[in-house]
Protein backbone atom coordinates (compact mmCIF):
# COMPACT_ATOMS: atom_id res chain seq x y z
CA UNK A 1 0.00 0.00 0.00
CA UNK A 2 1.37 3.41 -0.99
CA UNK A 3 1.98 6.00 1.71
CA UNK A 4 -0.36 8.91 1.51
CA UNK A 5 1.11 12.42 1.34
CA UNK A 6 -0.60 14.70 3.87
CA UNK A 7 -2.78 17.38 2.31
CA UNK A 8 -0.71 20.08 4.00
CA UNK A 9 2.47 18.75 2.30
CA UNK A 10 0.74 18.64 -1.07
CA UNK A 11 -0.35 22.22 -0.67
CA UNK A 12 3.18 23.25 0.32
CA UNK A 13 4.68 21.57 -2.74
CA UNK A 14 2.09 23.21 -4.99
CA UNK A 15 2.96 26.59 -3.54
CA UNK A 16 6.68 26.02 -4.20
CA UNK A 17 6.13 25.12 -7.85
CA UNK A 18 3.64 27.93 -8.35
CA UNK A 19 6.19 30.39 -6.94
CA UNK A 20 9.03 29.15 -9.17
CA UNK A 21 10.84 32.07 -10.80
CA UNK A 22 10.09 33.04 -14.40
CA UNK A 23 13.45 31.72 -15.61
CA UNK A 24 12.36 28.12 -14.97
CA UNK A 25 10.58 28.15 -18.33
CA UNK A 26 12.85 30.71 -19.99
CA UNK A 27 12.41 31.58 -22.77
CA UNK A 28 8.69 31.06 -23.30
CA UNK A 29 8.09 33.94 -25.70
CA UNK A 30 9.83 36.07 -28.29
CA UNK A 31 13.04 37.92 -27.42
CA UNK A 32 13.94 41.40 -28.64
CA UNK A 33 17.56 41.87 -29.74
CA UNK A 34 18.49 45.54 -30.02
CA UNK A 35 21.22 46.51 -32.50
CA UNK A 36 22.09 50.21 -32.14
CA UNK A 37 23.01 50.85 -35.80
CA UNK A 38 21.27 50.66 -39.16
CA UNK A 39 20.38 47.47 -41.02
CA UNK A 40 23.21 46.19 -43.20
CA UNK A 41 25.86 48.05 -41.22
CA UNK A 42 28.99 46.86 -39.46
CA UNK A 43 27.19 45.82 -36.28
CA UNK A 44 24.02 44.55 -37.92
CA UNK A 45 25.69 41.92 -40.13
CA UNK A 46 27.24 39.72 -37.38
CA UNK A 47 24.30 40.55 -35.10
CA UNK A 48 21.81 38.96 -37.47
CA UNK A 49 24.04 35.93 -38.02
CA UNK A 50 24.19 35.53 -34.25
CA UNK A 51 20.45 36.04 -33.76
CA UNK A 52 19.66 33.30 -36.30
CA UNK A 53 21.76 30.78 -34.38
CA UNK A 54 20.47 31.81 -30.95
CA UNK A 55 16.89 31.53 -32.17
CA UNK A 56 17.43 27.88 -33.13
CA UNK A 57 19.22 27.01 -29.90
CA UNK A 58 16.83 28.78 -27.51
CA UNK A 59 13.74 27.63 -29.38
CA UNK A 60 12.22 31.10 -29.24
CA UNK A 61 11.78 33.76 -31.89
CA UNK A 62 14.25 36.64 -31.82
CA UNK A 63 13.13 39.96 -33.22
CA UNK A 64 16.04 42.18 -34.29
CA UNK A 65 15.36 45.86 -33.69
CA UNK A 66 17.66 48.48 -35.21
CA UNK A 67 17.56 51.57 -32.98
CA UNK A 68 19.87 54.12 -34.57
CA UNK A 69 21.29 57.48 -33.57
CA UNK A 70 23.98 59.24 -31.56
CA UNK A 71 26.70 56.64 -32.04
CA UNK A 72 24.46 53.83 -30.84
CA UNK A 73 23.67 55.53 -27.53
CA UNK A 74 19.95 55.93 -28.20
CA UNK A 75 19.46 52.19 -28.49
CA UNK A 76 21.86 51.44 -25.65
CA UNK A 77 20.12 53.92 -23.36
CA UNK A 78 16.73 52.33 -24.08
CA UNK A 79 18.12 48.86 -23.41
CA UNK A 80 19.80 49.90 -20.15
CA UNK A 81 16.37 50.97 -18.86
CA UNK A 82 14.54 47.85 -20.05
CA UNK A 83 13.15 45.28 -17.65
CA UNK A 84 15.96 42.79 -16.87
CA UNK A 85 13.83 39.73 -17.59
CA UNK A 86 15.86 38.19 -20.43
CA UNK A 87 13.50 39.35 -23.16
CA UNK A 88 15.23 42.65 -23.94
CA UNK A 89 18.83 42.01 -25.00
CA UNK A 90 21.44 43.78 -27.09
CA UNK A 91 24.19 43.11 -29.61
CA UNK A 92 26.54 46.07 -29.30
CA UNK A 93 30.04 47.12 -30.39
CA UNK A 94 32.98 48.44 -28.45
CA UNK A 95 32.33 52.09 -29.34
CA UNK A 96 28.75 52.23 -28.09
CA UNK A 97 29.58 50.46 -24.85
CA UNK A 98 33.07 51.68 -23.93
CA UNK A 99 33.76 55.03 -25.62
CA UNK A 100 30.44 56.85 -26.06
CA UNK A 101 29.67 56.86 -22.31
CA UNK A 102 32.88 58.87 -21.72
CA UNK A 103 32.20 61.33 -24.54
CA UNK A 104 28.46 61.88 -24.18
CA UNK A 105 28.19 61.32 -20.42
CA UNK A 106 25.40 58.83 -21.06
CA UNK A 107 23.01 57.61 -18.40
CA UNK A 108 24.48 54.14 -18.85
CA UNK A 109 28.05 53.19 -18.04
CA UNK A 110 30.46 50.51 -16.90
CA UNK A 111 28.05 48.90 -14.43
CA UNK A 112 24.86 49.11 -16.51
CA UNK A 113 25.22 45.72 -18.17
CA UNK A 114 25.44 42.03 -17.63
CA UNK A 115 27.93 41.14 -20.40
CA UNK A 116 26.91 37.69 -21.66
CA UNK A 117 29.63 36.81 -24.18
CA UNK A 118 32.02 38.24 -26.73
CA UNK A 119 30.99 37.11 -30.22
CA UNK A 120 33.20 38.69 -32.86
CA UNK A 121 36.20 40.90 -33.46
CA UNK A 122 37.77 42.32 -36.56
CA UNK A 123 40.64 44.60 -37.55
CA UNK A 124 39.93 47.89 -39.27
CA UNK A 125 41.13 48.80 -42.76
CA UNK A 126 41.82 52.10 -44.48
CA UNK A 127 39.56 51.97 -47.56
CA UNK A 128 38.65 54.00 -50.65
CA UNK A 129 36.26 53.36 -53.53
CA UNK A 130 37.35 50.51 -55.75
CA UNK A 131 37.55 52.80 -58.81
CA UNK A 132 39.34 55.59 -56.92
CA UNK A 133 42.52 57.08 -58.36
CA UNK A 134 44.02 56.51 -54.90
CA UNK A 135 45.79 53.15 -55.16
CA UNK A 136 48.09 53.14 -52.11
CA UNK A 137 48.55 54.73 -48.69
CA UNK A 138 51.26 56.90 -50.25
CA UNK A 139 48.66 58.28 -52.66
CA UNK A 140 46.24 58.99 -49.81
CA UNK A 141 48.87 60.74 -47.68
CA UNK A 142 50.08 62.81 -50.63
CA UNK A 143 46.52 64.03 -51.11
CA UNK A 144 46.17 64.69 -47.38
CA UNK A 145 49.24 66.92 -47.43
CA UNK A 146 47.38 69.19 -49.81
CA UNK A 147 44.38 69.19 -47.48
CA UNK A 148 42.26 67.09 -49.78
CA UNK A 149 41.27 64.07 -47.66
CA UNK A 150 37.89 63.80 -45.97
CA UNK A 151 37.17 60.65 -43.97
CA UNK A 152 33.76 59.39 -42.90
CA UNK A 153 32.55 57.07 -40.20
CA UNK A 154 30.40 56.74 -37.08
CA UNK A 155 30.00 59.65 -34.65
CA UNK A 156 33.03 61.00 -32.74
CA UNK A 157 34.39 58.62 -30.14
CA UNK A 158 33.70 55.50 -32.17
CA UNK A 159 36.61 53.15 -32.88
CA UNK A 160 36.70 54.08 -36.61
CA UNK A 161 36.88 57.75 -35.60
CA UNK A 162 39.69 57.15 -33.13
CA UNK A 163 41.49 54.88 -35.62
CA UNK A 164 41.47 57.40 -38.47
CA UNK A 165 42.76 60.04 -36.04
CA UNK A 166 45.57 57.67 -35.02
CA UNK A 167 46.45 57.04 -38.69
CA UNK A 168 46.56 60.74 -39.53
CA UNK A 169 48.68 61.41 -36.43
CA UNK A 170 51.10 58.61 -37.34
CA UNK A 171 51.63 60.12 -40.79
CA UNK A 172 51.70 63.72 -39.55
CA UNK A 173 48.77 64.84 -41.72
CA UNK A 174 45.23 66.11 -41.15
CA UNK A 175 42.01 64.37 -42.19
CA UNK A 176 38.68 66.18 -42.06
CA UNK A 177 36.16 63.84 -40.42
CA UNK A 178 32.42 63.76 -41.21
CA UNK A 179 30.23 61.65 -38.87
CA UNK A 180 27.62 59.26 -40.33
CA UNK A 181 25.21 56.77 -38.79
CA UNK A 182 26.50 53.73 -40.70
CA UNK A 183 28.63 52.42 -43.55
CA UNK A 184 25.69 52.68 -45.97
CA UNK A 185 25.62 56.43 -45.46
CA UNK A 186 29.42 56.70 -45.64
CA UNK A 187 29.51 54.92 -49.00
CA UNK A 188 26.80 57.24 -50.36
CA UNK A 189 29.00 60.18 -49.38
CA UNK A 190 32.01 58.51 -51.03
CA UNK A 191 30.03 57.97 -54.24
CA UNK A 192 28.90 61.59 -54.09
CA UNK A 193 32.48 62.83 -53.75
CA UNK A 194 32.00 64.24 -50.24
CA UNK A 195 34.17 61.60 -48.51
CA UNK A 196 37.55 60.34 -49.73
CA UNK A 197 38.25 57.39 -47.43
CA UNK A 198 36.86 55.40 -44.52
CA UNK A 199 38.44 53.31 -41.80
CA UNK A 200 36.16 50.30 -41.51
CA UNK A 201 35.84 46.56 -41.16
CA UNK A 202 36.85 44.28 -44.01
CA UNK A 203 33.34 43.17 -44.92
CA UNK A 204 32.59 46.67 -46.22
CA UNK A 205 35.19 46.21 -48.95
CA UNK A 206 33.33 43.22 -50.30
CA UNK A 207 29.79 44.54 -49.89
CA UNK A 208 30.36 48.08 -51.11
CA UNK A 209 33.20 47.64 -53.60
CA UNK A 210 35.85 49.41 -51.56
CA UNK A 211 39.60 48.96 -51.96
CA UNK A 212 41.54 48.31 -48.73
CA UNK A 213 44.80 50.27 -48.70
CA UNK A 214 46.11 48.98 -45.37
CA UNK A 215 45.07 46.84 -42.42
CA UNK A 216 45.34 48.10 -38.84
CA UNK A 217 46.63 44.82 -37.42
CA UNK A 218 49.92 43.15 -36.58
CA UNK A 219 49.60 40.71 -39.47
CA UNK A 220 48.08 40.61 -42.93
CA UNK A 221 44.69 38.96 -43.20
CA UNK A 222 43.76 35.76 -45.02
CA UNK A 223 40.85 37.63 -46.60
CA UNK A 224 43.05 40.35 -48.15
CA UNK A 225 46.57 38.86 -48.22
CA UNK A 226 47.80 41.49 -50.67
CA UNK A 227 46.92 44.37 -48.33
CA UNK A 228 49.91 45.54 -46.21
CA UNK A 229 49.79 46.28 -42.51
CA UNK A 230 50.50 49.85 -41.46
CA UNK A 231 53.48 48.46 -39.55
CA UNK A 232 54.94 47.23 -42.84
CA UNK A 233 54.55 50.76 -44.13
CA UNK A 234 56.43 52.14 -41.15
CA UNK A 235 53.47 53.15 -38.98
CA UNK A 236 52.47 50.42 -36.47
CA UNK A 237 48.89 51.49 -35.79
CA UNK A 238 46.47 48.72 -34.76
CA UNK A 239 42.72 48.94 -34.14
CA UNK A 240 40.02 46.30 -33.75
CA UNK A 241 36.27 46.49 -33.35
CA UNK A 242 34.59 43.87 -31.19
CA UNK A 243 30.93 42.94 -30.78
CA UNK A 244 29.30 41.54 -27.65
CA UNK A 245 26.01 40.19 -26.39
CA UNK A 246 24.56 42.10 -23.42
CA UNK A 247 21.65 42.00 -21.01
CA UNK A 248 20.57 44.85 -18.73
CA UNK A 249 22.09 44.85 -15.24
CA UNK A 250 19.98 42.89 -12.78
CA UNK A 251 19.14 40.03 -15.12
CA UNK A 252 18.77 36.84 -13.05
CA UNK A 253 21.86 34.63 -12.87
CA UNK A 254 19.87 31.63 -14.11
CA UNK A 255 18.81 33.53 -17.24
CA UNK A 256 22.37 34.72 -17.78
CA UNK A 257 23.43 31.09 -17.52
CA UNK A 258 20.94 29.98 -20.17
CA UNK A 259 22.03 32.77 -22.52
CA UNK A 260 25.72 32.14 -21.90
CA UNK A 261 25.38 28.43 -22.68
CA UNK A 262 23.39 29.21 -25.84
CA UNK A 263 26.01 31.75 -26.93
CA UNK A 264 28.76 29.16 -26.50
CA UNK A 265 26.88 26.80 -28.81
CA UNK A 266 25.87 29.50 -31.32
CA UNK A 267 29.37 30.76 -32.13
CA UNK A 268 30.59 27.20 -32.67
CA UNK A 269 27.99 26.20 -35.26
CA UNK A 270 29.12 25.52 -38.81
CA UNK A 271 26.50 27.88 -40.22
CA UNK A 272 27.69 30.80 -38.07
CA UNK A 273 31.31 30.13 -39.03
CA UNK A 274 30.37 29.95 -42.72
CA UNK A 275 28.38 33.19 -42.63
CA UNK A 276 31.14 35.03 -40.80
CA UNK A 277 33.77 33.77 -43.23
CA UNK A 278 31.66 34.81 -46.21
CA UNK A 279 31.24 38.27 -44.69
CA UNK A 280 35.00 38.43 -44.00
CA UNK A 281 34.45 38.63 -40.25
CA UNK A 282 36.40 37.05 -37.44
CA UNK A 283 34.72 35.15 -34.63
CA UNK A 284 36.17 35.77 -31.19
CA UNK A 285 34.38 34.09 -28.32
CA UNK A 286 34.74 34.85 -24.63
CA UNK A 287 32.35 33.26 -22.11
CA UNK A 288 30.42 35.23 -19.53
CA UNK A 289 33.00 35.66 -16.75
CA UNK A 290 35.90 36.36 -19.11
CA UNK A 291 33.88 38.78 -21.22
CA UNK A 292 32.72 40.67 -18.15
CA UNK A 293 36.32 41.22 -17.08
CA UNK A 294 37.39 42.06 -20.66
CA UNK A 295 34.54 44.57 -21.05
CA UNK A 296 35.33 46.41 -17.84
CA UNK A 297 39.03 46.65 -18.70
CA UNK A 298 38.16 47.93 -22.18
CA UNK A 299 35.83 50.54 -20.69
CA UNK A 300 38.59 51.91 -18.46
CA UNK A 301 41.29 51.66 -21.16
CA UNK A 302 39.27 53.46 -23.83
CA UNK A 303 38.31 56.19 -21.40
CA UNK A 304 42.00 56.81 -20.74
CA UNK A 305 42.75 56.73 -24.50
CA UNK A 306 40.03 59.29 -25.24
CA UNK A 307 41.44 61.61 -22.61
CA UNK A 308 44.89 61.22 -24.12
CA UNK A 309 43.49 62.12 -27.58
CA UNK A 310 41.74 65.16 -26.14
CA UNK A 311 38.26 63.80 -26.90
CA UNK A 312 37.14 64.07 -23.25
CA UNK A 313 38.32 66.01 -20.24
* Tens digits of residue pLDDT in 199-256: 998 888 888 999 999 999 999 998 899 999 999 999 999 888 999 999 999 999 999 9
Q: How far apart are CA 6 and CA 9, in angstroms?
A: 5
Confidence of residue 90 (pLDDT cuts 50, 70, 90): very high
The pLDDT assigned to 235 comes to: 96
State pLDDT tens for residues 28-69: 999 999 999 999 888 999 999 999 999 999 999 999 999 999
Among 83, 112, 82, smallest CA distance to 96 is for 112
Q: Answer for the pair 144, 175: CB distance below 8 angstroms, yes or no.
A: yes
Over residues 67-72, the mean pLDDT reads 91
| Other beta carbons less than 10 A from residue 236's beta carbon | 12
The pLDDT assigned to 206 comes to: 81
Does the predicted model carry a pTM greater than 0.85? no
Q: Is residue 23 over pLDDT 80? A: no
Confidence of residue 304 (pLDDT cuts 50, 70, 90): confident
What's the mean per-residue pLDDT of the chain? 90
Please name each of the domains of the chain with its CATH number. Answer: 29-122+241-308 (3.40.190.150), 123-215 (3.40.190.10)
Lowest mean pLDDT among 12-16, 110-114, 136-140, 145-149: 12-16
Q: How far apart are CA 90 and CA 312, in angstroms?
A: 26
Count of CA atoms in the C-beta half-sphere (13 A) of 287: 9
The pLDDT assigned to 18 comes to: 41
The pLDDT assigned to 15 comes to: 42
Share of the chain above pLDDT 90, in %: 73
Confidence of residue 22 (pLDDT cuts 50, 70, 90): very low
State pLDDT tens for residues 159-181: 888 899 889 999 999 999 999 97
Q: Is residue 12 over pLDDT 50? A: no
Amino acid sequence: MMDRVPAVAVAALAAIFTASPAWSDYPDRKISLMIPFSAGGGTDVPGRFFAAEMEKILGAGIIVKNVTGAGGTIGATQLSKARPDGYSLGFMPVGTTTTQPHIRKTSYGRESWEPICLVAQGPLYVTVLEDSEIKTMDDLIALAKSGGVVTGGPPPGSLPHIAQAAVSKAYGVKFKYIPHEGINEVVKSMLGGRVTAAVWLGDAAQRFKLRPLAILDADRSAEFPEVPTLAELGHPVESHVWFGFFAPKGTAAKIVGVLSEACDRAVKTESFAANMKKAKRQTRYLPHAEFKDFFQRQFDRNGALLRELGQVK
